[in-house]
Amino acid sequence: MCALCGVLGEAGHWTDAPARPGVFTRNVDSLQRRRERIHRAACAQTVLGFYGLTLSDWQGTSYVLSTATGKTEIVDNPTHLWAAAEKLIGRPCDPLDPALVRRLEAGHE
């Protein structure tokens, strides 16, 4: 969904840009794409754990974001991840939050 106007539709994401000459992307072939999706879910999980959320890849097409009590959101791409996370936990997900930063610095992911 477009963050500006709320119109539904795939917005795409800069980290997942279609492969074009000169554009840096790992969205090149199915193997790389799959590997990158799994790595992305693992990276995001290191942060989402702070909020009690888990993220997993679903069929190589979407991500499943869940709370410990089983509330679940389907996330199409990284654009929507943090909005979905905030919806599930009911508070902002702020990368500058000192508590989150301290946790990552301490290695508790």
Partner 1 sequence: MSESTARQFIPVNLVTGFLGSGKTTLLQRLLPDPALADAAVLINELGEVGLDHHLMGRIDDTMILLPSGCLCCTIRGELSSSIKELYSRRERGLVPAFRRLIVESTGLADPFPILSTVQADPVLRHHFRLGNVITTVDAVNGLKRPESLKQVAVADRLVLTKTDLQADCSALVGELRRINPDAPLWRAAEQTIDAATLFDDEPRSPLRALPATVDAPHGSIRSFALAFEGSLDWTMFGVWLTMLLHRHGQSVLRVKGILNVAGTPTPVAIHGVQHLVHPPVHMAAWPDADHRSRLVFVVDGLEQSAIERSLAAFLRPAARMRTAVA
Residues of this chain that bind partner 1 (CB under 8 A): 2-5, 9-15, 17, 20-26, 36, 39-40, 42-44, 46-47, 78-79, 81-83, 92-96, 100-102, 104-105, 107, 109
Coil vs helix vs strand at 83: helix
Q: Which residue has the tokens 């799994």?
A: 38
**Beta carbon nearer to partner 1, 29 or 109:** 109
Rounded distance, CA 87 to CA 11, Å?
A: 19
Q: Least distance to partner 1 from the beta carbon of 59, Å?
A: 20
β partners of residue 68: none
Q: Least distance to partner 1 from the beta carbon of 102, Å?
A: 8
Report the residue count for the chain: 109
